[in-house]
Chain A
Amino acid sequence: MAENDHEPQAIRAEALESLLIEKGLLTADAIDDVIVRYSERVGPMNGASVVARAWSDPEFRSRLLEDGTSAIKEFSFEGGQVEKLVVVENTEKVHNAIVCTLCSCYPWAVLGLPPKWYKDPQYRSRIVSEPRTVLKEMGLDLPADVEIRIWDSSAEVRYMVLPRQPELSIGKSDEELAQLVTRNSMIGVESL
């Protein structure tokens, strides 16, 4: 910890925080609260409960696909950026995946903060130029006749993938269904 504190970036961050506190712009506690919020309460478990509900409730599924922003309001998730959420549905013939080619935009309210690979230059460029290869490298080998659609986030719109429901899970409770939904399946780099 002490060694880490001496990294130039750690010192820069500490200097910035101390100046902003002195200026009365924030408090250390407020920063702690944000970190706790994103590590404990805003994460892919939120998206998983949305997916479970969409699988078990066809009416909700239609509303979710039609207007994701309004549909997830029913869940009262905390935090997240104010933006439009578009949910894209995987089918037998179409597979979707999300990216932010320019920076790191991600549907925070439903998935929390993005994994490191999502922000890497490699993923950001290659998932667009060679999606089938990248998905295969990540363990998802799609049949040749499945169309792949890549959704690039913007300042206004964030995307989330609605994965296909595993057949064996039909009839389970929403809680049990949510347990089956992984973060990567909602990014679109994994099938369930």
Chain B
Amino acid sequence: MELEEQLLPPMANGELLFDAPWQGRVFGIARVLCEQGHFLWADFREALIIRISAWDQSHPGHDPYIYYDHFLAALTDLLSRKNLCSFSELLERDEQFRVRPHGHDH
């Protein structure tokens, strides 16, 4: 976490708004889709509560709690349920990106 915190702005109240750039991207994705009417924020909140309560109940003591892990998982759950993006196409694209040659930069 300490390393990530040195990476990038944006800041809020003297603290980083996001620990890593991907966290800002997923926050942005969720807000844009919501603001464009693809889902209500209350729908997203419900999906987020399911993911967070699963973590709270399982208490994996050795795992650090990374809020945006749950945020991303909740977002993909919701997008699949709303037929906006299926798990299978996401996993396929994920796999393509994962095997990219090292050093690839967009």
Contact = CB atoms under 8 A, between A and B. Distances in A.
Among B10, B48, B93, B98, max chain A CB count under 10 A is at B93
Interface of A is mostly: helix
A2 B93 contact: no
Given A11-B98, A25-B38, A16 B28 contact: no
Nearest to B55: A121
Interface residues of A, number: 50
Interface stretch (A65-73, A98-106, A141-149, A160-168): A98-106
Contacts of A188: none
Interface residues of B, number: 56
B33 A34 contact: no
Contacts of A13: 22-23, 25-26, 29, 72
Interface in B1-21: 4, 7-13, 15, 17, 19-21
Contact of A119 (B8, B11, B67): B67
A36 B9 CA distance: 10
Contacts, number: 143
A15 B90 contact: yes
A62 interface: no
Interface stretch (A86-94, A110-118, A170-178): A110-118
B94 A4 contact: no
Interface in A171-192: 183
Interface of B: 4, 7-13, 15, 17, 19-29, 31-33, 36, 38, 41-42, 45-46, 48-49, 52-53, 55-56, 65, 67-69, 72, 75-76, 79, 84-85, 89-90, 93-94, 96-98, 102-103, 105
15 contacts: A1-B7, A2-B105, A4-B21, A10-B21, A16-B72, A16-B85, A19-B93, A25-B33, A35-B27, A38-B10, A39-B9, A43-B12, A44-B13, A116-B67, A121-B55
